[in-house]
Amino acid sequence: MRSDITEELKSVTAESNIRTCEDMGGHTTFRAGGCADLFVTPQSITEAADIVRLLLARNIDYTVIGNGSNLLVSDKGYRGCIICIGSAFGNITVRDNIITAGAGALLSKVAKAAYENGLTGLEFASGIPGTVGGAVVMNAGAYGGEMKDVITSVTMLDTTSGETVIFTGDDMKFGYRTSVVKNHPFIVLEAQILLEAGSRVDIKDKMDELTRRRKEKQPIEYPSAGSTFKRPEGYFAGKLIEDAGLKGFSVGGAAVSEKHCGFVINAGGATASDIIELIKKVRFTVNEKFGVMLEPEVVILGEDIDK
């Protein structure tokens, strides 16, 4: 990547917000992966818009991330710019039964704010390690709840025009682990979440119960990206993987969790190549045995999983 792009970015955001050859293992919950040529953390909507405009003008690929909880970067690295929507977009405000949360706010913190204000409906998100932005893009969900159930509007940056747009929940076209953002040039900036008044005791009890279930059934003691595969229609990915005899199967430091086969984990010192190769082997084996091609839920940058 041309070195002059770094100098140009300095005219848009502070030098401290720009990094080169950034190790992405420190920015993903897999704790593995190669380096990104550029890593930029905009501090405002204006900066985000200007950064994207500059990258597009220089024909440089970019990817927007939050907490990296659903991301893996190839060991080969990413020949582009990572735009991290972080704490500068982490505002959380509560008014009546509506929570307004910035894209960089952690879902766990938003769920905690809901509890503290006696609002129910977001308990399912209390253990999801991502940010609001990533959760909106992927329509994150767990234990019967999804973001589409509580989102009333989303404010986004339209990177083609540089303007902010506001979509209703219906406009977002939420589906299973998808939304309108997946196929359009939008960057999520903020979301409005509509909840209901509830008992703080009941809300806390439900959150505690979900935490207990996660600890009991999910390998949260290991780095991972959560559920590695989307749920295939009519099946459960974890059961297919277990029935294929892959429980505990490993490649290098990556392994299929013995606690929950739907999770590929970094069991210790795994490289991105280990994880990717394991994902490929799992997909091949399940397809060969059951005729079901599992689709990864985790986003992989720098390598085509189908090759």
Query: Hey, which residues are catalytic here?
Result: 177, 227, 297
How far is residue 97 from each of residues 124, 131, 163, 196, measured CA to CA in Å?
17, 20, 28, 6
* Inter-residue contact 140 to 191 (CB < 8 Å): no
Q: Distance (Å, rounded) from C-alpha 196 to C-alpha 97?
A: 6
Q: Distance (Å, rounded) from C-alpha 111 to C-alpha 276?
A: 32
Cα Rg for the chain, rounded, in angstroms? 20
Would you tell me how many other CB atoms lie within 10 Å of the CB of residue 275?
A: 30
Tokens 């999770």 map to which residue?
263
Q: Distance (Å, rounded) from C-alpha 30 to C-alpha 224?
A: 4
What separation, in Å, do the N-terminal and C-terminal C-alpha atoms of the chain show?
Answer: 25
- The 10 Å CB-count burial string (b at 16+, else e) for 160-188 is eeeeeeebebeebbbeebebbbeeeebbb
